[in-house]
Structure 1
Amino acid sequence: MDSQEQEIQKTATNGNAVEEKTNGQAEEIKQIKETVEAQQIKPYPIAEPRLTVKILDLIQQAMHYKQLKKGVNEVLKCLNKGVSELVILAADCDPLEIVMNLPGECEEKNVPYCFVSSKSALGRACGIKRPIVSATIILHEGSQLNTQILEMKDTFEQLFI
């Protein structure tokens, strides 16, 4: 009987150790989640509602003049080619990491960028029924939009000041 009692005690202590270990891991995971939530990526700069309306209007005009590229891949292509003048990103895309490499590329290429609050509004402005997370406006020589694009570019640059 002594050997059976010893086995039961060993099992009980091993079980407690396992419970303590899982409780410790659960607390550690909880702490990691809290720090990740505290360091959550936040889009900056976000356009004010009035500026958002102006941006979406310019996007619609650029679409009619064929000076608009839509989507992360096309925006990256235009940035790498050096033809992009403005980059517009959606702040409500999920996960936000989809577009978070674009601000770094924009800063590297000296192209101003701005976040708008709604990906569905950005999609509608681009003439598409689906939500869009990024768009870029490009310049064409002799286009009627060039002055508006340059004015908006100055406005974007003032958002960072």
Structure 2
Amino acid sequence: MTEADINPKTYPLVDAYLTKKLLDLVQQSGNYKQLCKGANKSTKTLNRGLSAFILMAADNEPLEIILHLPLLCEDKNVPYAFVLFTQTLSQAFGVSRPTNSCPVTIKEGFRLKKQLQSFQQSIERLLV
């Protein structure tokens, strides 16, 4: 996938450095059971107010499966971002099947809270 192949609807698309940091946080969140997988779970966590932020894959086919999530995120005031590939998102999640979206949830006593807040701020800066 090249820059020309990227759909303009996948905004904000994070750069390689921030992608690596975000996927590390996703992997750590998975160890603390703070992670869900898929568009349906993303919608549920957003509606319940449990999402800290949501990562989505830009190469999802068809893209319309996850295009309701940015609108819902903006409505619920939850930061969101797109990474380039579904495969990198699923590897960070620890599964072999492609993952189109991944919400990181908030629970009491969340140990990665400071990292989460800094990433929320960096994702919000991308949206501006």
Q: Is the TM-score greater than 0.5?
A: yes
SS in 2 for 1:88: strand
Question: Aligned match of 1:98 in 60, 65, 68?
Answer: 65
Q: For structure 2, which runs of at least 5 residues remain unmatched after alignment?
A: 1-6
CA-CA distance at 1:143 after TM superposition: 2.0
Aligned residues: 122
Aligned to 1:145: 112
Regions of 4+ moved over 6 Å: none
* Structure 1 residues 108-127: aligned runs within 5 Å: 108-127=75-94
Superimposed CA distance per residue, residues 58-81 of structure 1 (whole angstroms, 9 cap, x where no aligned partner): 000000000011100000000000
Superimposed CA distance per residue, residues 29-75 of structure 1 (whole angstroms, 9 cap, x where no aligned partner): xxxxxxxxxxx753100000000000110000000000011100000
Larger Rg: 1
CA-CA distance at 1:160 after TM superposition: 1.1
Aligned to 2:18: 51
Q: For structure 1, which runs of at least 5 residues remain unmatched after alignment?
A: 1-39
Letter of the 1:134 counterpart: S
CA distance in structure 2 between the partners assigned to 1:148 and 1:69 by the alignment:
18
Percent sequence identity over matched residues? 43
CA-CA distance at 1:139 after TM superposition: 1.5
Question: Aligned match of 1:66 in 30, 33, 36?
Answer: 33
* Structure 1 residues 21-36: aligned runs within 5 Å: none
Aligned to 1:130: 97
Aligned to 1:26: none
Report 1 or 2 for greater relative contact order, CA contacts < 8 Å, sequence distance ≥ 6. 2
If each structure's helix is expressed as a fraction of its own residues, which one has the higher value?
1
TM-score normalised over the length of structure 2: 0.92
C-alpha RMSD of the superposition: 1.0
Letter of the 1:98 counterpart: I
SS in 2 for 1:76: helix
CA distance in structure 1 between the partners assigned to 2:22 and 2:8 by the alignment:
23
Q: Is the 8 A contact 1:140 1:146 kept in 2?
A: no
TM-score normalised over the length of structure 1: 0.74
